[in-house]
Structure 1
Amino acid sequence: MKKNAYLFLLFLVSSISSSTPLFASLEQAKSYQFPGNYLAENLYANPTILQAFYWYIPDPDSGHKGPESNLWQYISYTMADEFKQHGFTHVWLPPMSKAFSPTNEYNVGYAVYDHYDLGEFHQMGRVRTKYGTKQELLAAVEALHSRGIMVIGDIVMNHMLGADQAENVPYSHGFIVNKNNTVSYIGSGEIAAYLNFNFQNKNDPDPRGTRHSSFVWNKDHFNGLEIFDRFYLFQGKSINKVAYFGDLSSMPSEAQNIYKSIRSDIILGANLDFQNPEVREEMIRWTKWLINEVGLDGFRIDAVRHIDTPFISEWAFAIQKYMSDIGKFDGMLMFGESWDGWAERLSAYLEGNPANNGLFYNQGDGATNYCGIGNAMSLFDVPLHYDFQKVAKENNSYPPTRISDLPYRGLLARNPRYAITFVDNHDTIPTQELGSYIPLHTKLQAYTFILLNEFGVPTVYYEDMYKGNFVSNYKHDNFHVLNEGIKKLVYLRRRYAYGPGEYFIDYAKPGILGYKRQGRSDRQAESGLIYLIREFNSKDNGLIIPTDNRKWVLAAGSGNFNNGRFYLNDDSDWAVWIPSPENGIPATQLPWSLK
């Protein structure tokens, strides 16, 4: 039995759209259409993102040192060529700013200290960031640009750490998260909080001072603080307008609601107060500086759900307009990390108007009253990631999620135009708090699903592609299985994954899913594809998928075609077929010899 893909969508746009629209209003966002001639002009248009880093890149002076330990240099000298050869259109780089490093170990970048220090000034014990110096960063960006690859910067606007001086600050509410995960309410008081960032620390050999920016951060620019699992809301300050997450039913209702709202806003270090116009202006000003200084083509926004929602919309529209004004809008991607596994609520956050006051979400509420970002940017499809985990039987969900359920899951099914799909990233590996890693036996099925889909912009994780299956922080296995499989899927996406998509489901065989891309109407002989993916340990096999009187040949994975049915072989749970026209590229000549 077959089901047409996404018949319930209110609007459809081509999956090859490689930019986030420039919206002057929510109405424009909903009515925007990508240029109709874009696909005709670019056969290889399908945007494909590579996340070009992972959490446990060894420090350059550690015993685990590897080529990525000098990441900016490694990209310039080696990986830029490979990224281009392997078909990536956009490369997402880690946070570039100097981060708080209280020990000899480098910080990965999310504990930002100085937004304007990109590895230029001797602060926090060194000149370089974890990834290299500013000049090495600029060289890496130039290497990517010279190969036609767009660069996405990972930016942190939610919090700062490592201030140069402390200030006494009264707080109206305080909480302590105890070792047994219980929470104690400590009421009001005063704390000596490190909130003065003047970048003139006397212990630094070459502090930045006022170079690049004269802005000095102080207690007026923060509304609260997290330090050693203690959370404080400063007196006279309010919570940023953010959606509430979590629950704590054992506490009195008033304290419970206060804690819930504080923890939804304040997650790490000194929390930026976006009710202060100076903060909003400075973040927009810094982003524009970063665009000009580095040459960025897009952004991944960290912890977006914890940042004031109206500001996120304001920031996004301001930066999109600026990119348009300077001629860098074409191909721009902008997407946020809102780590919410509930697709319905994530969709409401995406669609809701920033002026709405609804911060709690109940099932079925929709976006009518919910405070959201007004379609200001795309979002990671976190729910789909968790669905992959459920299909892999790594998540004890009830009822169980089957692989044939995937077409109806995630942000991809609700708002495909704004979905940034992924399988894993730096936060999902087993040794991180989320620990939602997709196991090897399901990983290539998941990559097949996102890379060959008509909708969504897929992201490939560097560790999966270039290191292998995660075993421990500095150990991997099955490199060739993942590297060869993902490499083939990215090529097939760029070369063949065009035209409308259609799912094929046999409800008597819920452990297998079929999918077909029709191909371009003007080039059906050399575009389009068919795939099958199957759950690990499932015996389901064989689906009838129309061949359109075209000859189809196996391009990747392991399977066969017999008597009108496509099958998977016993040694594989995924397979992809492509047309084999006389004037096209025979499957025997696919470039699988790529490094």
Structure 2
Amino acid sequence: MADDKPDEQTPTPENATILQAFEWYIPDDHTHWKRLARDVQKYSDMGITALWIPPPCKASSPSGNGYDIYDLWDLGEFDQKGSVPTKWGSKDDLLELSTAADDCNVLLYADAVLNHKAAADKTEKCLVVEVDPDDRTKTISEPYEIEGWLGFDFPGRGDKYSAMKWHWEHFSGTDYNAANEKTAIYKIQGEFKSWAQSVDTEKGNFDYLMFADIDHAHPEVKKDINEWGVWLAKLLSLRGMRFDAVKHFSEDYLREFLDYLKANVNEDFFFVGEFWKDSLADMTAYLDRMQGSKFSLFDAPLVYNFSEASRTESYDLRKIFDGSLVQVRPVAAVTLVMNHDTQPHQALEAPIEGFFKPLAYALIMLREEGYPCVFWGDLEGISGEFKEEPSCGGQLPDIILARKLYAYGKQDDYFDFSTCLGWVRHGTWDKPAGMAVVISNAGPGEKRMFVGEEHKDEVWTDVLGWQEGEVKIGGDGFATFTCPGVSMAIWVKDDAPGRDQFGGFKAGVGYGKDE
């Protein structure tokens, strides 16, 4: 039954959904900001409320995705590292995207890469010790001098926006000695120099990840990054940030950075970290340490559950949320099916068979718990050498739309059979339609479920059109809902508001070059 009508001044807010608005192999044609600006209205109409955009800062090359970050302050404005624009486009294009998103009431979350810097402008001599790659707390050499790529002068930008130049003392480690062309993990020596202690303890101390590792204890580093964060947030009207590789850099500094942003930009800023580890205990401990920061993490364990479920015959779907972050900390869980790191042929690849993608998206999009994030590669397809068509038979937009229109109110679960799950959303006073979902990873699924006596004699159909026929709700509010084998169905009243919108969004049209 829909919730009793409360104060009409507090309408039910629209469900929030993030789109990760990129994938690893998007062409390096420098037009992606234009692409997103062109399509942001479409995404808003579909039910996307926030875009997570890729790192907007200058990378080590015109093809770099931004995780090989060179200059925080260059958003595609200066002739550096082979081009003026970034892979994604120019600064002007980015500003136009910001305006377009704001016009469509779509929030922007930027990807912040704060762990390291790449493609230094010159080498600098510094004192180091080598450490054991498998235990960075163990020193395996006497101190000696190397020539590291640690000098950043930003000749194309000069002093615009920031006069800071980066030198060896601003870093805690590197991995290459230009003097003898030797690769190792070098811990930089000097007064007050150390690996950050508030990092993950994998490999003894996981401060060092790649390139020139930033020393966030250095006061000049803190000042520059803090000021950059406020500048970027205000310039792009950001409402949140995604932090890359948070288990590799100082939690103490990150809390300081979050506080600085909230104090100088927006108290309600949204923060999510990539703490990619299949360990619920480590993730919850991290969240505990980020106390009071309103911090979220991507639900990595759930992604691995999806991968296992898709590759295990007759997997027990009742266990799909076991060990996941969304099960124990739903308010702090950003749920997802795939991202740029887990997509095919990437470092953290977590294969999910195509048949299971719709079921996985139903489990994150159509339920109460978690803040779901849709992957661009599933919505628009994957480009390049490993090209893939959009997932879910091109109907992922319809699953997103079903969340926008009907996934509200009290949730009743029917998790009573290992290969077939069902649940009902009962709607709210101002969004009363409700919905019934059935998923199966084996043969055809069937669930007798209660949707409410107020729906008696209504005719419900599957908005996806995958399950043919119709269901008439009984006088007792019950009906038997079905889905095809190894598939799903989303049942809603056949004339519910918005039913005419399904099938109206074309997936896979996001790659065309915007001239």
The alignment's TM-score, normalised by the length of structure 2, stands at: 0.86
- The letter for the 1-side match of 2:91 is K
CA RMSD of aligned residues (A): 2.7
Equivalent position of 2:423 in the other structure: 515
Partner of residue 25 from structure 2, selected from 56, 60, 64: 56
- The letter for the 1-side match of 2:279 is W
CA deviation digits over 1:333-367, x for unaligned, max 9? 32111101112221111113xxxxxxxxxxxxxxx
Q: Give runs of aligned pairs for residues 103-118 of structure 1, distance below 5 A.
A: 106-118=63-75
> Which 10-residue stretch deviates more, 45-54 or 315-324?
315-324
Partner of residue 187 from structure 2, selected from 233, 252, 274: 233
**Counterpart-to-counterpart distance in 1, 2:157 and 2:172:** 25
| Cα displacement (A) at 1:317 | 2.2
Partner of residue 568 from structure 1, selected from 472, 480, 483: 483
Contact 1:112 1:156 in 2 (8 A): yes
**Counterpart-to-counterpart distance in 2, 1:92 and 1:230:** 34
Q: Give runs of aligned pairs for residues 536-555 of structure 1, distance below 5 A.
A: 538-539=442-443, 541-549=445-453, 550=455, 551=458, 552-555=460-463
Equivalent position of 1:534 in the other structure: 440
| Cα displacement (A) at 1:511 | 1.3
The structure-2 alpha-carbon separation of the partners of 1:494 and 1:463, relative to structure 1 and needing over 3 Å to count, comes to same
| Cα displacement (A) at 1:453 | 1.5
CA deviation digits over 1:87-122, x for unaligned, max 9? 211011111111112xxx611111111110111111
**Counterpart-to-counterpart distance in 1, 2:174 and 2:315:** 39
Contact 1:422 1:450 in 2 (8 A): yes
Equivalent position of 1:128 in the other structure: 85
Equivalent position of 1:194 in the other structure: 149
Q: Give runs of aligned pairs for residues 295-374 of structure 1, distance below 5 A.
A: 295-324=237-266, 329=268, 332-352=269-289, 372=290
| Cα displacement (A) at 1:449 | 0.6
The alignment's TM-score, normalised by the length of structure 1, stands at: 0.75
**Counterpart-to-counterpart distance in 2, 1:321 and 1:534:** 48
**Counterpart-to-counterpart distance in 2, 1:430 and 1:186:** 39
Equivalent position of 1:593 in the other structure: 504
- Is 1:381 aligned to residue 299 of structure 2? yes
The structure-2 alpha-carbon separation of the partners of 1:401 and 1:123, relative to structure 1 and needing over 3 Å to count, comes to same
CA deviation digits over 1:126-165, x for unaligned, max 9? 1111111111111111111111111111111110011122
- The letter for the 2-side match of 1:568 is C
> Which 10-residue stretch deviates more, 539-548 or 415-424?
539-548
Q: Give runs of aligned pairs for residues 438-457 of structure 1, distance below 5 A.
A: 438-457=352-371
Equivalent position of 2:511 in the other structure: none
The structure-2 alpha-carbon separation of the partners of 1:303 and 1:40, relative to structure 1 and needing over 3 Å to count, comes to farther
| Cα displacement (A) at 1:187 | 5.2
**Counterpart-to-counterpart distance in 2, 1:184 and 1:512:** 54
Contact 2:12 2:430 in 1 (8 A): no
Q: Secondary structure at the match of 2:101?
A: helix
Runs (4 or more) in structure 1 with deviation over 6 Å come to none
**Counterpart-to-counterpart distance in 2, 1:443 and 1:146:** 32
| Cα displacement (A) at 1:374 | 5.1
Q: Secondary structure at the match of 1:129?
A: coil
| Cα displacement (A) at 1:279 | 1.7
Contact 1:197 1:216 in 2 (8 A): yes
Equivalent position of 2:3 in the other structure: none
| Cα displacement (A) at 1:188 | 3.7
Number of aligned pairs? Answer: 480
| Cα displacement (A) at 1:502 | 2.6
Contiguous gaps of at least 5 residues in structure 2: 1-5, 177-181, 473-477, 507-515
Equivalent position of 2:158 in the other structure: 209
Identity among equivalent positions (%) equals 29
| Cα displacement (A) at 1:593 | 2.4
Partner of residue 40 from structure 2, selected from 80, 98, 103: 80
| Cα displacement (A) at 1:219 | 1.5
**Counterpart-to-counterpart distance in 2, 1:141 and 1:220:** 36
- Is 1:483 aligned to residue 398 of structure 2? no
**Counterpart-to-counterpart distance in 2, 1:573 and 1:222:** 51
Contact 1:153 1:298 in 2 (8 A): yes
**Counterpart-to-counterpart distance in 2, 1:221 and 1:59:** 31
Q: Give runs of aligned pairs for residues 420-431 of structure 1, distance below 5 A.
A: 420-431=334-345
Q: Secondary structure at the match of 1:266?
A: coil
Contact 1:50 1:90 in 2 (8 A): yes
Contiguous gaps of at least 5 residues in structure 1: 1-35, 61-68, 178-182, 201-206, 247-259, 353-371
**Counterpart-to-counterpart distance in 2, 1:336 and 1:480:** 26
Contact 2:15 2:404 in 1 (8 A): yes
The structure-2 alpha-carbon separation of the partners of 1:381 and 1:187, relative to structure 1 and needing over 3 Å to count, comes to farther
CA deviation digits over 1:464-505, x for unaligned, max 9? 10126x8x734223x374432x11111111111111223211
| Cα displacement (A) at 1:424 | 0.4
**Counterpart-to-counterpart distance in 2, 1:457 and 1:239:** 33
Equivalent position of 1:495 in the other structure: 405
**Counterpart-to-counterpart distance in 2, 1:274 and 1:210:** 21
